[in-house]
Structure 1
């Protein structure tokens, strides 16, 4: 992104759009995203966990909002019902919405002017289903790669997952500046899975983002490779953000 203007990126664990009042309210998530006004957003827990595992923030609501478009990964969580005779009609019969936004809850939203060059859904090693999403984007004729992730609660599996993500990035046919964003579930600043990112990446100093009512842990992180400069970074702490999820969104302004 040499000589390119700055871009703002953000990461937000939206907790399936369930706020600290235990109510599901997707509109609050969009209101917070409007406040941040980031060019690219990585979401975690963007899909419901049970039933059809459809998007926690309905596609129609995002379309009406008009600010963002989701990157379409073309994947669907398979269920036992899908393998049964007539399984493709089960969703309509049960009135279940299975139109997910991403992969294992990870999704990427981009502003309307940003082009999508390529994308991929990544499977990650773990005991429970986990994944990450990768999008290669074009911003003002400059390519940038973004990975959205939600890592395991186990430190051992987090390190394996980071390694799998870095391996997937290294296998991409084109080299471009890369940004990793998401809920790392890593309480330590410079240890655990984050240490494996050295020396090629550096971590934005955003600050603690969890719990949104009284943030004490920097679980949500924005990690950028050394081709990018972190001009500014922080946690978005508006009253709306404190209600919309148990995590606060983190953001960073980047330049080439």
Structure 2
């Protein structure tokens, strides 16, 4: 049985459709920031996927091409410019399956959470939930309850730890934060300034981007990425977390039959 405990780096980043702080859509800036992060798993929100459109909207393809050795899953949440728009997860480790969960509330912008099963070591799977919640208070109350139920985070047949991260659009201790903190571990990321705020990128005033996790995952370090490029590339800052597994040999074996879509 394997006893080596792997370390891995995961990052969450709302790309804002590659629209920077100067209002220009420049995918190349986002691609450079993603390379700077040096992450093993990337959870991205607000990604345009328009293969038949102009290059500026063919963002999912450009990202996948930039990381040719990564496994890729895309969760489309709504139509966009003749293609789709949603969340994207990339991983150096195998993605053994994925599923997109609809969290949309009627008369609000469609939202979703992209679930991926990622095998970080032989037989040891982490369930990664790439989240993008709504901007409305009542909308998030609805989405929080939908998230914390047997259809999504509380699926009875999940085996192994869960990692829930992304843009929660919540900067106060609302119902989403309270529910997730009651079920998961979390942290405050380290920051070059006094407060760990993620939005807006150039002059962050609030924290919208968060990470929650189960043991035996443990946070080794965490920080917000504030390179010169990151300050301009999007209206969010990337959040980076380095995890280690205390003893991967004690993680439950993943026995479900899966196939990546």
- Shorter-chain TM range is 0.7 to 0.9
Q: How large is the RMSD of aligned CA atoms in angstroms?
A: 2.8
Deviation string 1:147-167 (CA, Å, 9 cap, x unpaired) is: 111111122321321232232
Mapped partners of 1:68, 1:97: distance in 2: 26
**Alignment partner of 1:162 out of 129, 135, 144:** 144
Counterpart-to-counterpart distance in 1, 2:105 and 2:90? 25
Counterpart of 1:230 in 2: which secondary structure? Answer: strand
User: Helix, strand or coil: the match of 1:213?
Assistant: coil
Structure 1: distance between partners of 2:154 and 2:44: 23
* Structure 2 alignment gaps of length 5 or more: 190-195, 246-261
Q: Secondary structure at the match of 2:182?
A: coil
Whether the aligned pair in 2 keeps the contact of 1:63 and 1:69 (CA below 8 Å) is no
Residue among 47, 59, 66 paired with 1:57:
59
Q: Deviations over 1:177-226 (max 9, x none)?
A: 111111111111x4431101133212231221111111121111111124
Pair 1:173 & 2:173 matched: no
Residue equivalent to 2:166: 182
Gaps of 5+ in 1: 80-95
TM-score, normalisation: structure 1? 0.80
Moved more, 38-47 or 150-159: 150-159
Of Structure 1 and Structure 2, the greater strand share is in: 2
Structure 2 counterparts to residues 1-256 of structure 1, below 5 A: 3-47=4-48, 57-60=59-62, 62-66=64-68, 68-72=70-74, 77=78, 98=83, 100=84, 105-111=86-92, 114-127=93-106, 128=108, 129-141=110-122, 142-167=124-149, 168-171=152-155, 173-188=157-172, 190-206=173-189, 207-256=196-245
SS at match of 2:140: helix
- In 2: Cα distance, 1:159 partner to 1:6 partner: 34
* Contact 2:21–2:232 (Cα < 8 Å) also in 1: yes
Paired residues, number? 231
User: TM-score, normalised to structure 2's length?
Assistant: 0.79
Aligned counterparts of 1:15 and 1:180: Cα–Cα separation in 2: 20
Give the 3 Å change call, closer, same or farther, for CA 61–120 of structure 1 in structure 2: closer
- Aligned-partner Cα distance in 2 for 1:56–1:242: 22
